[in-house]
Amino acid sequence: MLTRPPVKFIDRIARALPQIVVAPGFAAILYFVYGFIIWTGYISLTKSKMLPNYTLIGTRPYERLFQMDRWSVAIENLFIFGFLFVFVSVIVGCLLAVLLDQKIRAEGFIRTIYLYPMAISFIITGTAWKWIMNPSLGLEKVIRDWGWESFRFGWTVDNNLAIYALVMAAVWQASGFAMALFLSALRSVDQDIIKAASLDGASPWRIYLRIILPSMRPVFMSAMVILSHLAIKSFDLVVALTGGGPGYASTLPANFMYEMTFRRNEIAVGAASAMVMLATVAAIMVPYLYSELRGKKHV
Amino acid sequence: MASLTIKNAVKRYGNVEVLKGVSIDLRDGEFLVLLGASGCGKSTLLNMIAGLEDLTEGEIMIGDRVVNDVHPKDRDIAMVFQSYALYPTMTVGQNIAFGLEMRGVPKAERALRVEQVAKTLRMDHLLDRKPAQLSGGQRQRVAMGRALVRDPEVFLFDEPLSNLDAKLRLEMRTEIKRLHKRLNATMVYVTHDQIEALTLADRIAILKDGEVQQLASPAEIYEHPANMFVAGLVGSPPMNFLDITVEAGEAGPAAWVTLRADGADKPVLLDLSAHTARLDGYVGRKVVMGLRPEMISQGTTDAGQCVQCEIDVTEATGADTLCVLNWNNQEVLARGTSGYTKILEGTMDFTIETERACLFDPESGLRLD
């Protein structure tokens, strides 16, 4: 009778090797990402103050969170900042890409210049723009020294304008990245389509508006998702550029969370704000991932 | 509809001369095929007619209007691209209507004309689909529809069938032919497929290295190729070329050819008396004899000189069986009797129609006339 030869130990290992290799990383992600999400969610329902305390008190931290003016300012700021940052970056990036697409000289050099800000950390961007926008040593002083005595550019010290100063610095940093995304998409458009459109009698800007840009919809989606999550995570830029000030006029949720958790001994409220942020990100990412993973049929 | 005149068109990229003075004259309603291998300048010439590339020298006229400096959209031409170049975000209907829309045709008329074209090309059920949802053949139809709806002076086709599978290519070829017959429009068609060229064209221009090798009707090109390049390019299976030395025979010029028969090489004197005038002054010199496979047919007939030779290999293609023979230690293709019915093997009789043979000068490659 035929018997199946025994599977050697080494063969079994070889067969399981992929799983073995992936396992540590998988375990680490499971513990450090999802584990801590659950932990934070739990903490947000406890009466933790300076140190974690595991006594559950229901949704009271959330109630306290939404009663705080600082939090509503932070949420409002996030909407202003996020909306302006994403749209201005996309529009500026798209314009730059279209302009760079005109077969100009030294394109590689110019492209690198526009893309470079993305390689700088937000802390440095923030510091540099803090100096530029500082009324007594930045742009305002320079222009006044040139003779325009009444020139004012005190955005960072103005309660109502500080958030727009953040938008300006963030757009400066991210629009080059958006440009690179759009440029590669522009380059991948079939040249025959452009030829066909110009034979059809379309002017160059109509070709862009009617044919090329609509065909780049997936890239617009990606750019918006990447930029939105940058906006929601923004923390270091605020710390470096305005410190959340004046007062708390330019606080963003991430700064709020840091402030509550590590400075004001309100760990539960900090955890609650973190959970609200997670929900916000999920609200953006889940529909996107869903539409992406469902397949590319309707692109 | 209009005539199309290309006068001494030259195109240079830096020092590279892609087109070296091409002149072609097209009657109103004529179908011209530009045939050549890739890199011969045929697509450049088409792009120049379309206005997508500038001429370095020369002149292009549509009707009696010089269009050198006229923008592509004002030349009143339509082009079908190899990649179809459909607008991916628009539906089929919008794709077809786009050119009319850009020209300010009112919406109602646009809809009417799109509908007409869709009916002609039998794709009225596809109008609401996006290009990504269409098959290759359907996309091809849309690309044609986009050209048709504009009702232009000149149609340009840039290898429109080369992305289709063999069966569809045949269908669309017939469709294009039918279209030309119905519209009677001036058309310029670029291809590297000689069968397409032979079947579609009123006249074929064969290009090589930026020069027109021959501009003539398909029959003329097939029967009387201007040079060895044209003779080798057109016709499938390709023409056989044999190096021969012309001798003075009894009835006129003749040449010795060594045939393999019954396992031994046997010299045979081929009678070239039909070419006496052509070979005047060539006695004792080498020439190249071009014989198409169908000029060497199996069996004994009185159409030409009968010889016996050994069949090396046979290749049955269904309609005919090709026989590989050995002449002058060189492979020669002959067309055997059609069908699978007859077994072709060993040494058999073949008839060579020497009076239809083409003779070329071995140095210049030109046909002796």
* pLDDT over threshold 50, residue A299: no
Q: Is the dihedral of CA A221, A226, A232, A234 positive or negative?
A: negative
Question: B192-236 pLDDT, tens per residue?
Answer: 988 899 999 999 999 998 889 999 999 999 999 999 999 999 988
- The percent of residues above 70 in pLDDT, for chain B, comes to 98
Determine the Cα–Cα distance for residues A126 and A237; give it in Å rounded to an integer.
5
Question: B56-108 pLDDT, tens per residue?
Answer: 888 999 888 888 888 888 888 899 998 888 998 899 999 999 988 888 889 99
Among A199, A206, A220, A296, pick the best mutation site for testing chain B contact (most B Cβ within 10 A).
Answer: A199
Classify burial at B279, counting beta carbons within 10 Å of its beta carbon; exposed 0-12, middle 13-18, buried 19 or more. buried
Those residues whose C-beta lies under 8 Å from the C-beta of residue B56, and which sit 6 or more positions away, are B10, B11, B12
Query: A219: which chain B residues are within 8 Å (Cβ-Cβ)?
Result: none
* pLDDT over threshold 70, residue B148: yes
* pLDDT over threshold 80, residue B280: yes
Which one of B79, B83, B86 has the shortest CB-CB distance to A199?
B79
pLDDT category, B54, cuts 50, 70, 90? confident
* pLDDT over threshold 70, residue A213: yes
Whether chain B has a CB inside 8 Å of the CB on A196: the answer is yes
Do the chains contact at A201 and B89, CB–CB below 8 Å? no
Q: CA distances (Å), B330 to each of B253, B264, B326, in order?
A: 23, 15, 5
Ramachandran angles phi, psi of A153, nearest 5°: -145, 55
Q: CA distances (Å), B219 to each of A243, B161, B225, in order?
A: 85, 23, 9
* pLDDT over threshold 80, residue A3: no
* pLDDT over threshold 90, residue A37: yes
Contact yes or no for B173/B161 (Cβ under 8 A)? yes
Query: B94: which chain A residues are within 8 Å (Cβ-Cβ)?
Result: none
Do the chains contact at B98 and A202, CB–CB below 8 Å? yes
Q: How many CA atoms lie within 13 A of A232 on its CB side?
A: 18
Question: B152-177 pLDDT, tens per residue?
Answer: 889 999 988 888 888 888 888 998 89
Determine the Cα–Cα distance for residues A101 and B59; give it in Å rounded to an integer.
31
Q: How many CA atoms lie within 13 A of A139 on its CB side?
A: 12
Shortest Cα distance from A214 to chain B (angstroms)? 6
pLDDT category, A154, cuts 50, 70, 90? confident
* pLDDT over threshold 90, residue A288: no
Query: A206: which chain B residues are within 8 Å (Cβ-Cβ)?
Result: 102
Residues on B contacting A at a C-beta cutoff of 8 Å: 50-52, 72-73, 77-79, 81-90, 98-99, 102-103, 132, 146, 150
Determine the Cα–Cα distance for residues B143 and B123; give it in Å rounded to an integer.
12
Among A192, A194, A198, A200, pick the best mutation site for testing chain B contact (most B Cβ within 10 A).
Answer: A200
Do the chains contact at B78 and A217, CB–CB below 8 Å? no
Contact yes or no for B97/B109 (Cβ under 8 A)? no
Query: B50: which chain A residues are within 8 Å (Cβ-Cβ)?
Result: 195, 199
Which one of B73, B89, B90 has the shortest CB-CB distance to A198?
B73
In chain B, the residue whose alpha carbon lies closest to the alpha carbon of A190 is B85
In chain A, the residue whose alpha carbon lies closest to the alpha carbon of B89 is A215
pLDDT of residue A1: 58
Q: What is the residue-averaged pLDDT of chain B?
A: 88
Contact yes or no for B231/B225 (Cβ under 8 A)? yes
Residue for token digits 């680490």? Answer: A28
- The percent of residues above 90 in pLDDT, for chain A, comes to 11
Determine the Cα–Cα distance for residues B254 and B283; give it in Å rounded to an integer.
9
Predicted complex ipTM: 0.77
Those residues whose C-beta lies under 8 Å from the C-beta of residue A41, and which sit 6 or more positions away, are A271, A275
Q: Is A46 helix (H, G, I), strand (E, B) or coil?
A: strand
Ramachandran angles phi, psi of B247, nearest 5°: -125, 160
Do the chains contact at B85 and A214, CB–CB below 8 Å? no
Do the chains contact at B89 and A192, CB–CB below 8 Å? no
Q: Which amino acid, one-letter code, is at B315?
A: E
Do the chains contact at A201 and B102, CB–CB below 8 Å? yes
Whether chain B has a CB inside 8 Å of the CB on A219: the answer is no
Question: A170-211 pLDDT, tens per residue?
Answer: 898 888 889 989 988 888 888 888 888 888 888 888 888 888
Query: B52: which chain A residues are within 8 Å (Cβ-Cβ)?
Result: 195, 198-199
Q: Which residue has the higher pLDDT, A291 or B296?
A: B296
Domains of chain A (ranges, CATH numbers): 39-290 (1.10.3720.10)
Query: A214: which chain B residues are within 8 Å (Cβ-Cβ)?
Result: 89
Q: Virtual CA dihedral for B19, B24, B30, B35, nearest 10 degrees?
A: -40
Query: Mean pLDDT, to the nearest integer, of A114-119?
Result: 84
Determine the Cα–Cα distance for residues A47 and A211; give it in Å rounded to an integer.
57
Which one of B77, B83, B132 has the shortest CB-CB distance to A199?
B77
Contact yes or no for B82/B160 (Cβ under 8 A)? yes
Query: Mean pLDDT, to the nearest integer, of A233-262?
Result: 83
Q: CA distances (Å), B228 to each of A252, B213, B214, B282, B290, in order?
A: 79, 10, 11, 18, 8
Q: Which three-class secondary structure string do you get for chain B? A: CCCEEEEEEEEEECCEEEEEEEEEEECCCCEEEEECCCCCCHHHHHHHHHCCCCCCEEEEEECCEECCCCCHHHCCEEEECCCCCCCCCCCHHHHHHHHHHHCCCCHHHHHHHHHHHHHHCCCHHHCCCCHHHCCHHHHHHHHHHHHHCCCCCEEEEECCCCCCCHHHHHHHHHHHHHHHHHHCCEEEEEECCHHHHHHHCCEEEEEECCEEEEEECHHHHHHCCCEHHHHHHCCCCCCEEEEEEEEECCCCEEEEEEEEECCEEEEEEEECHHHCCCCCCCCCCEEEEEECHHHEEECCCCCCEEEEEEEEEEEECCCCEEEEEEECCEEEEEECCCCCCCCCCCEEEEEECHHHCEEECCCCCEECC
* pLDDT over threshold 50, residue A86: yes
Q: Is A265 helix (H, G, I), strand (E, B) or coil?
A: coil
pLDDT of residue B338: 62
Determine the Cα–Cα distance for residues B216 and B226; give it in Å rounded to an integer.
10
* pLDDT over threshold 80, residue B6: yes
Determine the Cα–Cα distance for residues B161 and B82; give it in Å rounded to an integer.
7
pLDDT category, A21, cuts 50, 70, 90? very high
Which one of B77, B85, B99 has the shortest CB-CB distance to A193?
B85
Contact yes or no for B117/B148 (Cβ under 8 A)? yes
What's the token pair of residue B343?
């077994």
Do the chains contact at A215 and B87, CB–CB below 8 Å? yes
CA-based nearest residue to B144, from B119, B121, B112 = B121
A246: cis peptide before it, omega within 30°?
yes
Which one of A199, A211, A299 has the shortest CB-CB distance to B73?
A199
Query: B132: which chain A residues are within 8 Å (Cβ-Cβ)?
Result: 299
Which one of A192, A201, A206 has the shortest CB-CB distance to B81?
A192
Ramachandran angles phi, psi of B228, nearest 5°: -65, -30
Whether chain B has a CB inside 8 Å of the CB on A200: the answer is yes
What are the beta bridge partners of residue B358? B290
Contact yes or no for B168/B136 (Cβ under 8 A)? yes
Question: B234-279 pLDDT, tens per residue?
Answer: 988 889 999 999 988 888 888 888 888 888 888 888 888 888 888 8
pLDDT of residue A103: 79
Do the chains contact at B85 and A211, CB–CB below 8 Å? no
Q: Which of residues 28-87 of A touch B (CB under 8 A)?
A: none
Do the chains contact at B83 and A217, CB–CB below 8 Å? no
Contact yes or no for B208/B40 (Cβ under 8 A)? yes
Shortest Cα distance from A185 to chain B (angstroms)? 14
- Of A105-109, B40-44, B215-219, the range with the highest mean pLDDT is B215-219
Q: Is A147 helix (H, G, I), strand (E, B) or coil?
A: coil
Domains of chain B (ranges, CATH numbers): 4-233 (3.40.50.300), 240-360 (2.40.50.140)
Do the chains contact at B73 and A202, CB–CB below 8 Å? yes
* pLDDT over threshold 90, residue A156: no
